[in-house]
Amino acid sequence: MKKFLLLLTIVGSCIFCNSAIAAPSTTETVKAKSTNTATKTIKGKYDVWMRIGYKAYDKKDYNTALINFKRALKLRPNDVYATKAIQNTEKRLAGK
């Protein structure tokens, strides 16, 4: 009962909120969501390529590792981790 009253109080108080503070328009909301989604998608793909690369590297499958590290680097140019992973993998492929 207390939770219901608290919720009712919160919802009810929003009715009397200052009307100068407006909610974002639908267009603003869609833009924000699409930007966040794009960023999350790139981050997600980057993480996937790096994980696949590290797993392949651990299995000594350096060609697969290199391909995936390069995919990750395309998503984040100049990324320190992807760049270093590529350098290490290329050294392994060169027999060093």
Q: Is the dihedral of CA 50, 56, 61, 67 positive or negative?
A: negative
Q: What is the pLDDT of residue 34?
A: 56
Measured CA to CA, the distance from residue 66 to residue 72 in angstroms comes to 10
The residue among 13 and 77 whose pLDDT is bigger is 77
pLDDT-based confidence at residue 5 (cuts at 50, 70, 90) = very low
Q: Nearest CA to 68 among 87, 84, 54?
A: 54
Q: What is the pLDDT of residues 45-68, one digit of tens each?
A: 999 999 999 999 999 999 999 999
pTM for this structure?
Answer: 0.61
Q: Are 50 and 85 in contact (CB under 8 A)?
A: yes
